[in-house]
Amino acid sequence: MKRLVSIGEASRILGVSISTLRRWEKEGKIKPDTRTRGGQRRYKLSSILTQVEGNTDSRITIAYARVSSYDQKEDLERQKKVLEMYCATKGWDFEIISDLGSGINYNKKGLKKLINLILNDKVNRLVITHKDMLLRFGAELIFALCEAKEVEVVIINKGENVSSFEEELAKDVLEIITVFSARLYGKRSNKNKKLIEDMQKAVNNAISSQDKA
């Protein structure tokens, strides 16, 4: 138990994130036994176990899932299952927050709840399947907020599912056009209805072509 371990090893042994250990150090709950010449923390196992005894992190892991439209409800359930299984295998206590709405909509109920939890220091870890599940544009702002609040971000799949990405992007573009067309022509005008119908056909054709490719 006299072996010195790095902060990364200590976090794995204790089952908490590195950001949690750093936060505990700022709060005076723990301190490294020594530092390397390069300034890296080193802990004695016996010392760190004694120091963190009784220290519990009340913050939780949030797993966030989202799809763009109602016809993707099955995809939303699959996404939630993936998140649930991933968090369970890690042994994390977690809560799933889900949204059914466009990736360009910043006013979704679940997203607002997530942001409020982060701002109020209730979250220690955010888990998502893909980066774009948060927002199509602006996810970096959420990641910056997580960094400022010492929230660990876990992205399960850092690659891109091309067909899914293009389908969601097409639907997001259609939503933008729908909003601006309604403002330009009025929601009930024939011009607006014709434009939306044509755009919907174009989106459906694009998705069908992608599926056949």
- Tell me the domain boundaries of the chain: 4-52, 60-155, 162-212
Considering the candidates 68, 98, 102, 181, report the single residue annotated as catalytic: 68
Q: Is the model's pLDDT at 152 over the cut of 80?
A: yes
pLDDT value of residue 163: 44
The CA-atom distances, in angstroms, between 33 and each of 5, 52, 56 are 10, 13, 21
Angle at 67 between CA 81 and CA 139, to 5 degrees: 100
For the sheet with 94-100, list strands across it: 94-100, 60-67, 123-128, 152-155
Q: What is the mean pLDDT of the chain?
A: 77
| Integer Cα distance of 154 and 174 in angstroms | 30
Half-sphere exposure of 77 (CA within 13 A, CB side): 5
Catalytic residue list contains 46: no
- CATH class for the region spanning 60-155: alpha beta
Q: Is this model's pTM higher than 0.75 or not?
A: no
User: Is CATH 1.20.1420.30 the right assignment for the domain spanning 4-52?
Assistant: no
How confident is the model at residue 162, as a pLDDT? 40
The residue ranking higher by pLDDT, 12 or 169, is 12
Mean predicted confidence (pLDDT) in 58-71: 86
The larger pLDDT score, comparing residue 170 to residue 163, is at 170
Per-residue pLDDT at 116: 93
What's the pLDDT at 80?
92
Identify the pLDDT of residue 1: 46
- The pLDDT score that the predictor gives to residue 73 is 84
> Is 132's pLDDT higher than 90?
no
pLDDT of 136 > 80? The answer is no
Q: In this model, does residue 63 exceed pLDDT 90?
A: yes
Bigger pLDDT: 63 vs 46: 63
